Each structure stands twice: as structure tokens, then as C-alpha cells.
Chains A and B, each alone.
Chain A
């Protein structure tokens, strides 16, 4: 039997390679779509975790300030907390390394005179004592940075931050792996005193790493540390910190996870139908085997064995395809992380054992489960039935009606459940989406049956093809359902993305009214440490082409326990008022000025359950302050923001320099030329100067990058749908071979049979489109009004993206027609004697 198994498998491949290739492709696509998104998802978190490890070393607890930084004085308090066995401070900033454009490095200032954490052991080429004794500028570099820059010990080099250029000296290599950390490839390490002094960070620490006594209760120790610091710092374990990153990335990852789950559903569905199609084709062969003496058990083993083999092949190809799909989309996801979430980019892709297990589960599990029911059917049937002409697969009206009703009950029940009970529950949106996706295959058989039955057939042409769909309902329903689910996903995502884009366009047009925007950067990236000097702001205001300057100061602070941007602007300026798209009418800004209140973004209002009239607590560097909320504005930033008057900000959160300015130019001035002029006069990487047009372009580039990952699903959906149609029509061609032969005997031309199958494919595409569009509109509404609102707190206005939707519909129809060409060709080649053979 084993020998037969190998022979039959190779014979099958030789006789019908397309069907088998499609089956393997179906499994592979299903697996690829599942794991590609999972790989990206896990890599995003792993990337952040690596950053945490680099900064925290092998810390049990990392202490960070609620106001973003910690004062130096926090260190002795942390160190002296009972239960602490070692504590080490870190000052950090990002610098651009001069001499090689585009090279940036994380610069860490640590206590190089303390023998904590085996730090000295991490150096090689270490000139002992040099960091302090050699005077200013001694720095160790990671091997990667030293290699890229071609440094040898003793070399002098320059780095640049927002405040200017500094000369450093390369003293040693530092290997973070030996320090018990990993991740950061391009980093510089200096003594903390030198780093603080050179980079204007006197008195400031960014974190304190803590090693706890063996067996210490870490949460209790963290609580003691927070208590000693007067509650102005967060003490968390690295896993909690990574957990915070997970939370920060939560919404983004949620989208990825949701898409991954949908792709799992669609992918498994394709695997299931692929295997099923394959079995139908072999049915008669099993009858022959049985008549030659094989037992039902041997036949069952043969079927499952072949399914497993195809599944394994599909899994192997799917893992490779999934990985390369992830690689293909890496840049887009990585850019989203750096641009939207200010996190480090993904440096490498992580393929975990869990991901591989999921691939095997989806591929092999789908293949075996898709095979099991038809295989059991073969197993229990007698030899004569198997050799007989394939039974008509028209499911009874009663069955299709029951499925239809279940589908309706599912949708109506889910909606009722949402309106009555679960509208406050965050996961509701996903339950509703699943209900919409699941109802499609339930509604399809009845709809196909009834729509096909209503078609009048004047001749042996297109309408006959449509009507005959009802005769192969089981297969047709699979195909139409697959297509409908794919279209549903496609339409839902298109509606979300395009509506969001439209909303963003309106918001940006309203908010960005100045001509040129100047933002301080550190290492070419804005950040809490990047500020504009007062002299620079004065110079900009004094330019002859500048009519007015809108000051802005941005801090990242804990507001009601969430880390958000707190923006200070001059609220008395009309332009500043105008940039806020307030949700309520009246003189909200005037009231805020009078009442010394603040304005908050919609996401923050939603996540912190705060509304106008409430107060919120902001953790400033000088301690917590509580301020009244005077208004809420539309806001499409991650986590939301707070806007307040600059004066109030200085008074309550402490004085500080501006982080950006918006320039209103005099009539006739060219914003592009002004922006280029300002940028050219300042060191590269210290300022980001963008004209209004460029800034808007950048915003939409980031937006498009954020949603670029959805392309994976859109493309996969389309391929899966096309595969489903091809497979279905191939099965129909096999099932209906005798019927086609009869047509041919009765005088039907090959062209007519060809057209009949193309008609079937096109009809299935239309049915799938109609069902999918209906489901997609529902899914889009759920994504926009339920999921985005509850997870991001964003109000998105519904928009009908007619052209993108029409384009997608056309693509699907074309794909369906193309997918039906090969089966139509095969069917048209059915010889007339197939009739006698089938009826023998």
C-alpha cells in the first residue's frame, strides 16, 4: 500500500498537475497570509523589547520619570531602597554622526566608575580610567558603529544633536551582548558626567536600572521605589516595559492581529476547499481500488496520507512565502513604528516556534480537516456507488433555507446584542466583524440557489451557465463564499482607509494653516530633548519674509496615567485657535484662557473617560498638576494630546524652550524657498523645516505607510478568490463530465462549452461581488464606527470611495474570468465518449 501510495501520488501529479499545484498553492497561500502578518507583528514587539534590554541592561526593574526624565537626586533614593543590590543611572540621547550622512547613534551616558553589572567586562580595547581621567569626550562605540565609521581607538569624530556639534574620541569597543543586553547596533557609551555635561543634560537622567536581591518580590520592590520617589516615577520590570510597548502598539498590533485572524479564516477555508476539490477528482479511482480488494480503511489512509503530503508541501512553501511577504512589507511596517510611534525600527524579523506551529496547524490542520468529511464519505460508501457517476450535489432547499436562517439570526442577533448589551465592550467590534464574515458562507447557498433558479434560459449560453450554478451548489457555494469573504474584507478595509484618509484631509487642511513649520530635532528626529534656542526663534521672526510666528512647545508627559503629547501654543493667536477642530461650539478657547483650562483630544477624552468640566492630572517635572478641561477637539494622533496656553504651561509644568514654530509668510513669499533657505543655514539633522505642502505630503505618506500592510491581505484575498474559482470550476468540469459529453453529443460546440464555464466563473464572481460588497459595507461600518472609535477614539467620517471600489470590482471580475479560462478549456475538451464511459 505504501508503494502504491508513492506511485499514485506521482501519477496524480503527472495527470492533473494544475489541480494539484492549485491545491498546494491554496494551502501555501493560506499559510503565508497567516504567518506573514504574525511575523511582522511579533517582530515589532521584539524590536522594542531589544531596545528596552539595551537601555536597561540586565535590569530587574527599570525606573523612569513620569515627566519623561528623572532628576539626578532620584538615583541615591533608588539605590538606597531596601531590596536593591545594584542601581545604575543612564542618560541618553540620539546623535547624528558626522562624516557619514544618515548615520545616527544612540548615546548612553552611564556611570563608568561603578563596577555594577559587569559593565567593565563589556569593553574591549578599554583604556582603564580613560573615560574620566582622559578628560572630555571619551566614548566607546558598538562594533557595528566603529566598523561603519572605520574608527580605530584614538580617532576623533564629531556628533551632532539639536544644540550643535561635539567632538568625541573613540576609546574602546563596547559589546552589549557581554553586558547582558542586546539589540542596539549603533550606540555610543560615555561616562555619565561627560555625557550630561556635553549634551546639555545636567541634572537629568532618563532611567535607572535596578538589580534586585535574589528572590525579591519585584512588584513590591517596584512599589517601594515609586514610593521613595514620591510617586513621580514608574518602576517597572523589563517585561512590563515591553508590555507597555505592546500596549502602545496595541491598536496597531490589533489591526495586524485582526487581519491575521481573518486571513487564517480565509486561508483555512481555501485549504479546506482545495482538498475537497482534489478528492472529488479522485473519487472514481477509489472505487476501482475498492473493487480490487482494498479495504475502506486502506482507502481512508490513502486519502488522508495524500492530504497530509499536500499539506506539508503547502506548509513548507507557505512558510517561505509568508516570510518573504513579511520581508516585502517590512519597510512599511518599520516606517510606521518609527514615524507614528517614535520607536526604533525593526532590525530583523523574528520567526518564532509559535509562528511555525501556527503555520503547521493552519496548513496541515486545514488540509486534513478539509479532507476528513469527504474521505469519511468515501470510506462509508460501497464500491458501486464510488464507481458510479458523481451524484448531483444540489443540496435540498430545506438545508439551504436552514443555513440562510442561521446566517440571518447570526447577523441580527449580533447587532441586537451590540445595541442592547455590548456596545461598551471593546471587543464587540471584532465579534460583529466575525459575525458578518461567518454569515456570508451561511447565506450563500440559499441565495445562489434562488438567484440561479430565477434565471430564464432561452438558449445554451451565458444564462444557462448561471442557472446551472444551482445544480452544483455545494461546490459553487464554496467558491462564491470564498470570493464573498475576500471581497468583504477588501471592501471593508477600503472603506475604512479611504474614509479615514478623507477625514484626515479635512482635518489637516484645517489644522495646518501656516506656510512653513520649523521643528527642532535630535538626530534628525523630533523628540522631547530637541528644542529651539530663543535666538533662533528671534532670528526667524525677524526675517523679512515672515509675517508672524506661531510658537509651540511639545512635551511628552503622563496624563491620567497615559503618556501623551502636551502641546503649548499661544491660544490668543487666531491661527492657534483655528488649528483646533473643536467638537463643541461657542468660545471654547476663550473660556480655556479665562478659566486657565486645557483642551484635550478626542482619543484622550475617550480613553480617560474625561469630558468638558472634568479635571485631569498631568505629571510635570515639578510634580502633578490638576487642570480643568475646557474643550475637546478632533485629534488623530496616537493616544491623543493635550493643548494648553503657553503661559499656563510654563506656570504649571515649568518653563522651557519651544520645540517648533509655525511661520506665516508675507504675501508673495515662496514657502518652499523659505524652508530651503532656513534649513540650509542650519546644521544637518538639527532642524526639520517643511513647507505646508511638504508637511501635508509627509502626513499622508505616513498614513499610507501605516495602512500599507493591508495590501498583503488585499492581494492575498484576490489570489485566494481566484484560486477558489479555478478549483471549483475544475471540480465542476470533472463532476459534470458526462453531462458535458451529453451536450457535445447533442451538438454543442466546444466554444459553447467553453463559454458555459466562463459564464459560470463570471456569474460566481458577480454573486461573490454582490454578497461581498454587502458584507464589506457592514464590515466597513463596524471598522469605522465601532472598532476605530473604541480602540483609537477617532471620529471618522464615512466616505464612499467610488473609484477605488469600482477598480477593485473590475479587478475581481477580471480575476474570475481569468480563473475560469483553464477549467473552461478543460471542459470544452471533454470527449463525447465520456458519456458512455460515465454510464458504463
Chain B
């Protein structure tokens, strides 16, 4: 017999999924279609009319000029559209978007991973999205118990973002500057997620950005610098009904190349759709066809907290690009477990990349969603 908590948790996750699905069906949200005319820097800001949108930053940071990274981090703002109608002006709580914020910091030295999150309505009191040319792209009150805000802003060349979580005792404030040009993930910036008409998103990345700032952890503060990867994606109903989750990779090679690849999985665990992009050292982009690359999982790690069995270790082959990469998590437990939304958990972590002979050839971030019971991601 299920406990009350389990039932409540189920109801919550269903409700969140439901909010997104229901609102998607009820209103004519704009889906990602070819022919979108990009305009920068304006498109760094929120695009109303699309149901979901996110700004995703992952990276590695070293301290004291050391080449080896000390921290891995993730910083994400999600916008979830609830209604296309403009909010009713009668109340300061009126909102037509929900903001979710996820941030994680992995201390690669100690192997400790921390995750922070927030879910608030995008009402002027609590959170919101700026409009170009206001430098603020998105902002929110911090997680409960944290007086400081989370914010993402455009600094003219790159992005600045700050987060803090007093309860989890960590914060970071980072500034980025692209080292390579912006990359569209998919022709025209349309990234297909399936064969359905709406199964696509508008997607671009900054695959290598110089990053610096400060990190605070358990009362200690570090000046940090390193590189990061930024994804911006927006669309509506981009995932097919039978999509259970995805594996997503952002890999930065030491020779200056980058690879982004993703595999969308069916409920039976098979690959439903996949895509990959290779960015050459000079910034040239090549969209890899399915036969041009191969990714095999080589290990598994089961989360003791969620019970979800995740792949942990892969071999990536891109023969045409002479890439054979052995990918392995730097820390096994980099699972982000939501305390706000029951049954929301996913693995998002720093990975090292080695050659077949064991030499370091790069590093990156991997995201694994939809593993474990009832864990279909709400996006």
C-alpha cells in the first residue's frame, strides 16, 4: 500500500507535468520551426510565446591559477509558460510563467556534490525576466532561507550569473566571456527532438567561455577561473509523448574542439532520437549524422538515494573526426535531487575525457534524465 507521502509526491509530479502539458494543449504555444530569424543579443533574453525555455551553464573552475579544475558547476534558469495571456494587473502575484532555478557545485577534490533549486512564479515580487536592453535576463528570489537573489545578466560580451543557497552553504558569482563564436545546434538553430511537427527546439550554444569569479563553500571563499559551456533553448512540446528521458553531453576537448550530443530514449530504453554537433577549433560547425558517431555506455552507477541506475562511463567514437574518447564521471554521485518537486531527480555532472591510452584529452558535462521510477523530466 502506498504511503501518503508517496501519493502526495506522485500527485505533485503529475501536477507539474500536467501544468506543462495542459497549458501546452490549451493554448497555442509557438513551436520551434525552421525559418526563425535570430537576432542577437536580443535572443539571449526570454522569448514569450514559447512554452519552455532555459539558460544552461556548466563548467569547470580552477583555483589559485592551478590548471586542474577544483570545482564543477551547473547554473540553470528555466522558464515554464503557464499562460500566453498577459498576467492580470490586479495583483502583484499575477504571473504567466514559472521560474525554476537549478544550481550545483561539485568539489572535485573532496568529491562532494551540492544541489540547490528554486521554483517560483514569475511575479514582480519574486522573479522575472528582463527585456532587452535591460542587462537582466532573468532573476529570482533565492531558495527559501536565502536572502540573496539569483540572477542572470548580459554583460555586453558574455553572461554574468550569481546564485546563493544559505541552507546548502554555497554560492557562486561568475562572469563569462565567449572564447569562440555562438553555435546553432542544428541547421538554422532548430534542434530536432523527434519526427513530430512540434518536436524541435530553437537551440544555440557558446561552447567555450572563459569564466571567472568567486565560489563560496562552507564559509570559505575562492577566486576561480576556468571554462564553461552555455546552452539556450526554447520551444513548445518538443518532447514526444513516449520520450522517457535523455542523455546529453557537452564535451570540450583540449585540442580546442567541442562536441554536443544527445540521445532521447523511449520508455523501453531504446534510442528514440539522437543528434550531435562538432565544433572545430576555429569555430566551424558540423552537424553529425547518426551513422557518423557512436556512443556506448561502459558502466553503471545506482543512486543510493533515488535508486535510479545511471550509465556511468562511455566510449565515444567519431571516426571522421579522429575522436575516440573514453568518458568517465569525475565523481560518481552528482545526482541532483529536488526537495521541492518529489520524484524529480537527474544526474548532471562533470566528466573527464581520456584517450584510449588513458591520456587526458578534455573534460565536459553530462546530463542523464528519466532514469529510475516515475522520473520523467517535467520539461
B83 within 8 A of A: yes
Among listed A189-197, A505-513, A677-685, interface-contacting one: A189-197
Return chain A residues, CB-CB under 8 Å to B147.
Answer: 80-82
The closest CB in chain A to the CB of B122 belongs to: A113
The closest CB in chain A to the CB of B80 belongs to: A113
A132 within 8 A of B: yes
Contact with A along B1-44 (1 / 0, CB 8 A): 00011011111101111111111001100000000000000000
Contact partner of A121 (CB less than 8 A), chosen from B9, B90, B92, B166, is B9
Contact partner of B92 (CB less than 8 A), chosen from A82, A116, A118, A202, is A202
Contact A115-B145, Cβ < 8 Å, known A121-B7, A132-B95: no
Contact with B along A103-130 (1 / 0, CB 8 A): 0000000010111101011110011111
- Indicate the member of B88, B166, B167, B340 with the most A CB atoms within 10 Å: B88
Contact with B along A42-85 (1 / 0, CB 8 A): 00000000000000000000000000000011011001111111
The answer for the CA separation of A118 and B13 in the assembled complex, in Å, is 10
B108 within 8 A of A: no
The answer for the CA separation of A178 and B19 in the assembled complex, in Å, is 20
CB distance A113 to B121 under 8 Å?
yes
In the assembled complex, how far is the CB of residue A698 from the closest CB belonging to chain B, in whole angstroms? 36
Contact A72-B93, Cβ < 8 Å, known A118-B8, A129-B23: yes
A213 within 8 A of B: yes
Contact partner of B125 (CB less than 8 A), chosen from A73, A178, A213, is A73
Return chain B residues, CB-CB under 8 Å to A623.
Answer: none
Return chain A residues, CB-CB under 8 Å to B92.
Answer: 72, 196, 202-203
CB distance B8 to A178 under 8 Å?
yes
Return chain A residues, CB-CB under 8 Å to B27.
Answer: 133
Contact partner of B144 (CB less than 8 A), chosen from A86, A129, A136, A193, is A86
A135 within 8 A of B: yes
The answer for the CA separation of A126 and B10 in the assembled complex, in Å, is 13
In the assembled complex, how far is the CB of residue A63 from the closest CB belonging to chain B, in whole angstroms? 13
The answer for the CA separation of A79 and B95 in the assembled complex, in Å, is 18
Contact partner of A193 (CB less than 8 A), chosen from B11, B93, B145, B340, is B93
B379 within 8 A of A: no
A25 within 8 A of B: no
CB distance B98 to A192 under 8 Å?
no
Contact A123-B91, Cβ < 8 Å, known A76-B125, A80-B147, A83-B145: no
Return chain B residues, CB-CB under 8 Å to A201.
Answer: 91
The closest CB in chain A to the CB of B7 belongs to: A121
A756 within 8 A of B: no
Return chain B residues, CB-CB under 8 Å to A82.
Answer: 145-147, 166-167
Contact partner of A113 (CB less than 8 A), chosen from B4, B26, B98, is B98
Contact with A along B152-184 (1 / 0, CB 8 A): 000000000000001100000000000000000
In the assembled complex, how far is the CB of residue A225 from the closest CB belonging to chain B, in whole angstroms? 11
The closest CB in chain A to the CB of B341 belongs to: A115
Contact partner of A127 (CB less than 8 A), chosen from B11, B22, B141, is B22
A753 within 8 A of B: no
Counted as pairs of residues, one from A and one from B, with CB atoms less than 8 Å apart, the total is: 140
Return chain B residues, CB-CB under 8 Å to A113.
Answer: 19, 82, 95, 98, 120-121
CB distance A197 to B91 under 8 Å?
yes
**Interface residue ranges of A180-225 to B (CB < 8 Å):** 191-194, 196-198, 201-203, 211, 213
The answer for the CA separation of A84 and B147 in the assembled complex, in Å, is 10
B142 within 8 A of A: yes
Return chain A residues, CB-CB under 8 Å to B353.
Answer: none
The closest CB in chain B to the CB of A205 belongs to: B93
The closest CB in chain B to the CB of A74 belongs to: B125
Contact partner of A115 (CB less than 8 A), chosen from B82, B126, B340, is B340
B123 within 8 A of A: yes
CB distance B83 to A80 under 8 Å?
no
Contact with A along B101-138 (1 / 0, CB 8 A): 00000000000000000011101011000000000000
CB distance B18 to A81 under 8 Å?
no
Return chain A residues, CB-CB under 8 Å to B93.
Answer: 72, 89, 111, 191-193, 196
Return chain B residues, CB-CB under 8 Å to A122.
Answer: 8
CB distance B95 to A193 under 8 Å?
yes
In the assembled complex, how far is the CB of residue A108 from the closest CB belonging to chain B, in whole angstroms? 13
A87 within 8 A of B: yes
B94 within 8 A of A: yes
In the assembled complex, how far is the CB of residue B10 from the closest CB belonging to chain A, in whole angstroms? 8
Return chain B residues, CB-CB under 8 Å to A202.
Answer: 90-92
In the assembled complex, how far is the CB of residue B135 from the closest CB belonging to chain A, in whole angstroms? 21
- Indicate the member of B7, B93, B341 with the most A CB atoms within 10 Å: B93
Return chain A residues, CB-CB under 8 Å to B15.
Answer: 115, 120, 123, 126, 128
Chain B, interface size category, equals 35 or more
Chain A, interface size category, equals 35 or more
In the assembled complex, how far is the CB of residue B263 from the closest CB belonging to chain A, in whole angstroms? 28
Return chain B residues, CB-CB under 8 Å to A213.
Answer: 145, 167
B218 within 8 A of A: no
B85 within 8 A of A: yes
The answer for the CA separation of A419 and B125 in the assembled complex, in Å, is 60
The answer for the CA separation of A579 and B230 in the assembled complex, in Å, is 73
The closest CB in chain A to the CB of B27 belongs to: A133
The answer for the CA separation of A122 and B4 in the assembled complex, in Å, is 10
CB distance A129 to B7 under 8 Å?
no
The answer for the CA separation of A76 and B125 in the assembled complex, in Å, is 7
CB distance B8 to A121 under 8 Å?
yes
Contact A197-B88, Cβ < 8 Å, known A84-B144, A115-B340, A213-B167: yes
- Indicate the member of A72, A79, A201 with the most B CB atoms within 10 Å: A79
In the assembled complex, how far is the CB of residue A181 from the closest CB belonging to chain B, in whole angstroms? 13
CB distance B90 to A196 under 8 Å?
yes
CB distance B145 to A85 under 8 Å?
yes
Return chain A residues, CB-CB under 8 Å to B83.
Answer: 132-133, 135
The closest CB in chain A to the CB of B98 belongs to: A113
Return chain A residues, CB-CB under 8 Å to B18.
Answer: 126-129
Return chain B residues, CB-CB under 8 Å to A120.
Answer: 8, 11-12, 15-16
In the assembled complex, how far is the CB of residue A122 from the closest CB belonging to chain B, in whole angstroms? 8
Contact partner of A197 (CB less than 8 A), chosen from B20, B21, B90, B126, is B90
The answer for the CA separation of A201 and B146 in the assembled complex, in Å, is 28
Return chain A residues, CB-CB under 8 Å to B5.
Answer: 118
In the assembled complex, how far is the CB of residue A330 from the closest CB belonging to chain B, in whole angstroms? 32
The answer for the CA separation of A76 and B19 in the assembled complex, in Å, is 24
Contact A123-B19, Cβ < 8 Å, known A193-B94, A193-B123, A202-B90: no
In the assembled complex, how far is the CB of residue A654 from the closest CB belonging to chain B, in whole angstroms? 19
CB distance B12 to A79 under 8 Å?
no
Contact partner of A85 (CB less than 8 A), chosen from B16, B95, B98, B144, is B144
**Interface residue ranges of B58-107 to A (CB < 8 Å):** 82-83, 85, 87-88, 90-96, 98
In the assembled complex, how far is the CB of residue A303 from the closest CB belonging to chain B, in whole angstroms? 54
Return chain A residues, CB-CB under 8 Å to B11.
Answer: 120-121, 123, 126
CB distance A72 to B26 under 8 Å?
no
**Interface residue ranges of A129-163 to B (CB < 8 Å):** 129-130, 132-136
CB distance A121 to B144 under 8 Å?
no
The closest CB in chain B to the CB of A71 belongs to: B92
**Interface residue ranges of A727-747 to B (CB < 8 Å):** none
CB distance A196 to B125 under 8 Å?
no
CB distance A135 to B85 under 8 Å?
yes
Return chain A residues, CB-CB under 8 Å to B20.
Answer: 129
The answer for the CA separation of A813 and B302 in the assembled complex, in Å, is 87
The answer for the CA separation of A118 and B9 in the assembled complex, in Å, is 7
The closest CB in chain A to the CB of B81 belongs to: A133
CB distance B22 to A132 under 8 Å?
no
The answer for the CA separation of A73 and B124 in the assembled complex, in Å, is 10
Given contacts A72-B92, A213-B167, 15 further A-B contacts (CB under 8 A): A76-B125, A80-B145, A80-B146, A80-B147, A113-B82, A114-B121, A118-B8, A120-B16, A121-B11, A126-B11, A128-B16, A132-B96, A133-B26, A196-B90, A198-B90
What are 13 A-B residue pairs whose CB atoms fall within 8 Å in the complex? Answer: A80-B142, A85-B145, A111-B93, A115-B16, A116-B340, A120-B8, A121-B8, A121-B10, A128-B14, A129-B22, A133-B82, A202-B91, A211-B144
**Which 8 pairs show the lowest CB-CB distances between chains A and B?**
A128-B18, A197-B90, A121-B8, A193-B93, A129-B19, A196-B91, A120-B15, A80-B147
